[in-house]
Structure 1
Amino acid sequence: MVRVLYFSMAFTFKPYTPAAKYKTAAAYFSMEFAVDQALKTYSGGLGFLAGSHMRSGYELKQNLVGISILWSFGYYDQGRNEDQSMRADFRHKHYSFLEDTGLVFPITIHGADVHVKALYLAPEVFGTVPMFFLTTDIAENDHLSRTISHHLYDPDAAARVAQSILLGVGGGKLLDLLGRHTDVYHLNEGHGLPLAFYLYEKHGRDLAEVQKRLVFTTHTPELAGNEERPMKLLTDMSFFGAVPADEIRRVARIGDGDSLNYTLTALRFARKANAVSKVHGIVSLEMWGHYEGICPIIPITNSQNGTYWRDPQLADALKGKDDAALLARKQELKKDLFKIVADQTGNIFDPEVLTVVWARRFAGYKRADLILHHFDRFVQLANDIQRPIQMIWAGKPYPKDYGAVALFNEIIKRTAHLKNCAVLTGYELDLSAALKKGSDIWLNTPRFPREASGTSGMTAAMNASVNLSIADGWIPEFCRHGENGFLIAHADETRPDAVKDDQEATALLDVLEYTVVPMYYDQPKNFLKVVKTAMKEVEPAFESGRMAKEYYEQLYK
């Protein structure tokens, strides 16, 4: 039985009537959601993906609810120091549009009660499925307990474990308190893994009963995205609830191991899992397929919500086959972006000049600086008198990823003297949209095969920005070189990173100099044809309505 401190009957959970083919009741657990600029509960691509899923679920009237955490300080606000380098600011967030359910209940963390409040985001606010956000930052808790929901991806190991318990156990208990029958519990990444142990206890410690109800999405081959924690820490923190650690070792098949991997354990407690692109499906099977007891892993390629991301005027011009209107609107959108560039950096960009953007979460394997690897050649290309390029970078590093922060600042330093280069701060939904709508080329340079999906290029293509990318993640499913995008040949993946960087940087500049730049300036009709082909083909294949349908058809049933 779930204990509750108090429950105001003023709140009644009455979501919309679901469509007949989506009556299976599902709950989607994610540590982050990017549903609107005003709600700062996300860091990057995982949140962007989850936000689009919630929007498309609403458009399809799926019987789906979203469960997450209300981060009191968000991820962080990205500002600048006096020398223009990046600064991470933390400010308390307030949201008048979230409805207090009046529901406060305890969960167990580190052997003690921690009180959880649930807030509700109604579908009509941002056009999402019903969503609930959990917080421990309430008067009923002591200071330490209140900090659990302060910072998304807290760097402290014990705090991160507590956050996982809050999401998994807190979300599971919330659904029970609401009286919502749930057929399928969907873990978006392993962060909410304690949900599996909550269900295990709830259903008489019968693994098969958990597997009937639990599905799982794995998003990344990166080590940091596949958490692994010492068993002693997890046991001390009450990660497994009332289930003894020895039983967890047996059921999770970790034997006498000293640590538990969240992804591997989720794959053993779920009935089915998905990777987020076809390439990632292959990589995931290579990573996990040799372990005993894992569930099937299928590919369901990530996608993004067109209603939210696409510019209506660009879409109308494409539909109306009005090339003049499409080009005119693109010029307006470039000018809008260049106002942001001028405001932040003092550089004045020209809407007639080919504009390349690299913008996504800053992480080392994404190689934001690959285009600068052969620096003199880049400068020569950028400063060509007849056919120059303009280059913009943007993105948020994890604030404790000092290597990524240093890379961000190094790009600022190296390009400070170039008036046609800019590094922007504040990479959230609004800036992301402005960059996609205002760019001509969307650059993507991950180390193959470490980009699981890379959905930013989808929304760029919706907005007449052409992908120039390593063939990783979703790109092999979409891009045909010179027809709807441009491909950068990747080196033999067995070679050392330094060799791959050198070869792929050369390949990148070759494609820019010998294919993209000449087409943009000398063959504008051909470039426009590539733009339009990409806009036509990116939807519906990579619009999240397709993805939301596939989750119901392939994962939930």
Structure 2
Amino acid sequence: MNFKLKHPYKFGKGYEKPVAYFSMEFAIDQPLKIYSGGLGFLAGSHMRSAYDLKQNMVGIGILWKYGYYDQVRKHNNELDVLWQERHYNFLQELDFDIEITVDNHPVKVKVYYLAPEVFGTAPLFLLSTDHPQNDHLAHTITHKLYDNNIATRIAQYILLGVGGAKLLEKLGHEVELYHFNEAHALPAAFRLLEKLGSVEKVREKLVFTTHTPVKAGNEINDPNFLHKLGFFNGFSIGEIDGLIGLDEGMFNHTLAALRLSKIANAVSKKHQEVSSAMWGGYTNICDIIPITNAQNKTYWTDKELEKAYEKRSVKKFTSRKRTLKSELFQLVADQTGKIFDPNILTIVWARRFAGYKRADLIARDVARFEALLNNKNYPVQMIWAGKPYPLDHSAVSTFNWLVHFTRKYHNATILTGYELSLSAMMKKGSDVWLNNPRIPLEASGTSGMTAAMNGSLNFSTNDGWILEFGEHGKNAFVIPEADTTAPEGEQDQWDADHMMHILEEEIVPMYYKNHEQWVEMNFQSMADVNKYFRASRMADEYYRKLYNHH
């Protein structure tokens, strides 16, 4: 083994403590397709900012052979899913293997290294079971991110956790802290337990970020099943129950992470309140503090727009925005055969297609939506994009419904391939960034932050990070909060009505009649997002509040 881990910099003050950051997905750059959505976008920005700030961090993830999936179309333009093998010449394959045990079988693991200079990130190690000595079943562990087969998924957690811990041992890279981004890497805690001998000692070495604001979103499994696969790294169910405690006989992943960590964080202030209420009834859990998500400004921001903002030049801003819209619209024309106009107000809804995010809410009242599109004097263009989870049939059918619904409008359409590069294009090429999750289900959300960095105004329900940012009419447009105790249909109706009202009465008229005020609002939004929602602030807070916490 010749590999020597070297950070390419002297560590910044306060960032000397060695930390390993475990995540199922990292959205580092467009060519490296190992992410699905927000969790990955967050991890990618974190790794970039760790590099910018010269932090003593390494990332540990998985090299997904087929990525999450490539989003393509069927012959009738509906969604299709393509699993395409990926090969990368910018990853370095290390000259040693590690071995993990899954279901009492040894599994060989290859290690790939993403050097910091490739994309400007903290060092990143990616694990793969694509090894000649493994059988087909072992190979499938690293085929697909979030595999729908539960046994495969548990094997992925064992790989990330135990494999990641063994890798650090093999490298001789002593870290003081393991940071779990979500509970997937939990088996690393059981590896530590084996080495250190007590839960107290494990707690000294673990910190945890929770992302899910609903009980149902937190994974719960049968401990017998987990034990058989090797999730507990050799500890018996009785030992696990004695050390951590089961939840009514089941193993609750998030709960276990909260009991094994010295401190945890939620991803926005509101999410911290929701999480503390959600887990408050349980004993022996660590404190949950808020560290609001953020995004790496250098990576996401258009330099010319930034210059226009610094000079506060309305003219420069407007002309650059028109250019960026034209670039996005070339792609729209290529994908959909529709030519859009850069002078027209353009609204974008683009994110993961999950039910609670309500992709089709703006079109709930079809007549009203048509009136918005067809307004002769103040027309509007609308673009959707986003990847549903392939087996979330309701999300896929919403996507397909929008395909057919938008066909008859010359100024509304839906794109495929919502990954890092399209995401950046849509943020730069939109005037309004629409975000309408059903409150309070969005833990944080981050796409609106990068939209704001690129002169696109947030138009959102009051949830997640928007609660800390949005001031209606000043730097964003915020839909008044619905009564969350009302039936879902009534909440949707409330939000849809208020959304259309704000569009008709405020957004559209301001864009066309008072463009200077529109740009001023963008400048305010850019100033406010830069103040607090840059990943450098977040990466710094992780060290100050989580890693250096005593």
TM-score, scaled to structure 2: 0.98
Measure the CA separation in 2 of the matches of 1:175 and 1:540: 36
* Pick aligned residue for 2:495 from 470, 480, 504: 504
Q: Report the CA distance between 1:250 and its aligned residue.
A: 1.4
* Pick aligned residue for 1:303 from 294, 299, 312: 294
Measure the CA separation in 1 of the matches of 2:346 and 2:476: 15
Match of 1:396 in 2: 387
Could you tell me the percent identity over the aligned residues? 53
Matched, 1:72 2:65: yes
Matched, 1:442 2:441: no
* Pick aligned residue for 2:205 from 213, 216, 225: 213
The root-mean-square deviation of aligned C-alpha atoms, in Å, is: 0.9
CA-to-aligned-CA distance 1:250-294 (integer Å, 9 cap, x gap): 112117x33211101100000000000011011111111111110
Matched, 1:174 2:161: no
* Pick aligned residue for 1:542 from 504, 509, 533: 533
* Pick aligned residue for 1:105 from 92, 98, 102: 98
* Pick aligned residue for 2:346 from 342, 355, 360: 355
Measure the CA separation in 2 of the matches of 1:283 and 1:75: 29
Matched, 1:254 2:246: yes
Correspondence list, 1:125-524, <5 A:
125-204=118-197, 206-222=198-214, 225-254=217-246, 257-524=248-515
Unaligned runs of 5+ in 2: none
Residues 219, 225 of structure 1: 8 Å contact kept: no
Match of 1:4 in 2: none
Matched residue count = 547
Unaligned runs of 5+ in 1: 1-7
SS of 1:114 mapped into structure 2: strand
Measure the CA separation in 2 of the matches of 1:221 and 1:108: 33
Q: Aligned partner of 1:177: which letter?
A: K
Measure the CA separation in 2 of the matches of 1:224 and 1:458: 27
Measure the CA separation in 1 of the matches of 2:296 and 2:159: 28
Measure the CA separation in 2 of the matches of 1:225 and 1:130: 30
Residues 490, 500 of structure 1: 8 Å contact kept: no
Q: Aligned partner of 1:238: which letter?
A: G
SS of 2:14 mapped into structure 1: helix
Cα gap change, 1:304 to 1:156, in 2 (>3 Å): same
Q: Report the CA distance between 1:105 and its aligned residue.
A: 1.2
Measure the CA separation in 1 of the matches of 2:218 and 2:55: 29
SS of 1:540 mapped into structure 2: helix
* Pick aligned residue for 2:41 from 28, 42, 48: 48
Measure the CA separation in 1 of the matches of 2:31 and 2:280: 40
Match of 1:14 in 2: 6
CA-to-aligned-CA distance 1:147-183 (integer Å, 9 cap, x gap): 1000000000000000000001100110111001101
Q: Report the CA distance between 1:420 and its aligned residue.
A: 0.5
Q: Report the CA distance between 1:538 and its aligned residue.
A: 0.4
Matched, 1:30 2:44: no
Residues 23, 60 of structure 2: 8 Å contact kept: yes
TM-score, scaled to structure 1: 0.97
Measure the CA separation in 2 of the matches of 1:321 and 1:529: 8
* Pick aligned residue for 1:61 from 12, 33, 54: 54
Q: Aligned partner of 2:434: which letter?
A: L
Q: Aligned partner of 2:426: which letter?
A: L
CA-to-aligned-CA distance 1:478-506 (integer Å, 9 cap, x gap): 11000000001121000010111111100
Q: Report the CA distance between 1:322 and its aligned residue.
A: 2.2
Measure the CA separation in 2 of the matches of 1:224 and 1:444: 22
Cα gap change, 1:132 to 1:224, in 2 (>3 Å): farther
Q: Report the CA distance between 1:18 and its aligned residue.
A: 1.5
Measure the CA separation in 2 of the matches of 1:223 and 1:284: 9
Q: Report the CA distance between 1:20 and its aligned residue.
A: 3.1
SS of 1:530 mapped into structure 2: helix
Q: Aligned partner of 1:361: which letter?
A: R
Q: Report the CA distance between 1:225 and its aligned residue.
A: 4.0
Measure the CA separation in 2 of the matches of 1:47 and 1:223: 21
More deviation, 281-290/123-132: 281-290
Q: Report the CA distance between 1:140 and its aligned residue.
A: 1.6
Q: Report the CA distance between 1:357 and its aligned residue.
A: 0.3
Residues 246, 252 of structure 2: 8 Å contact kept: no
Q: Aligned partner of 2:366: which letter?
A: F
SS of 1:423 mapped into structure 2: strand
Measure the CA separation in 1 of the matches of 2:135 and 2:353: 35
Measure the CA separation in 2 of the matches of 1:28 and 1:99: 19
Residues 454, 474 of structure 1: 8 Å contact kept: yes
Q: Report the CA distance between 1:224 and its aligned residue.
A: 6.1
SS of 2:340 mapped into structure 1: coil
Q: Aligned partner of 1:491: which letter?
A: A
Measure the CA separation in 1 of the matches of 2:533 and 2:222: 38
Q: Report the CA distance between 1:436 and its aligned residue.
A: 0.1
Residues 172, 198 of structure 1: 8 Å contact kept: yes
Q: Aligned partner of 2:234: which letter?
A: A
SS of 2:532 mapped into structure 1: coil
Q: Report the CA distance between 1:196 and its aligned residue.
A: 1.1
Q: Aligned partner of 1:51: which letter?
A: G
SS of 1:36 mapped into structure 2: coil
